[in-house]
Amino acid sequence: MFCNAGTFNPNNTKYQFWRQDNHPIECFTATVTQQKLDYIHNNPVKEGIVAFPEQYIYSSAAIYADEIGLLEVERIDG
């Protein structure tokens, strides 16, 4: 699959693992920032990896749920 994806992309020599496109969005307000944070936290739930965002060990969602997380995180919601 990686070889096939790499074949059709002139930026690769052999394989492609990551998507090479992105759509950066400036977090210019607290509302937009919260929207993006919610999106990131809910990705593991949407993919069926966990039932609740704070259950995903590599997410900061636990910190925002006032639980203990894997890493120390500075919350952006004050």
Q: Compute mean pLDDT per 10 residues along the chain, 78 residues long, and list them.
A: 77 74 83 92 96 95 91 78
- Using CA atoms in the order 56, 18, 21, 58, what is the torsion angle rounded to 10 degrees? 20
pLDDT, residue 78, reads 52
For the entire predicted model, the pTM comes to 0.68
Give the contacts of 3 (CB within 8 A, at least 6 positions apart): 14, 15
Every domain of the chain and the residues it spans: 23-78
pLDDT the model gives residue 71: 82
Alpha-carbon distances of 25 from 21, 35, 37, 48, rounded to whole Å: 13, 11, 12, 26
pLDDT of residue 2: 77
Matching residue, tokens 């998507």 = 19
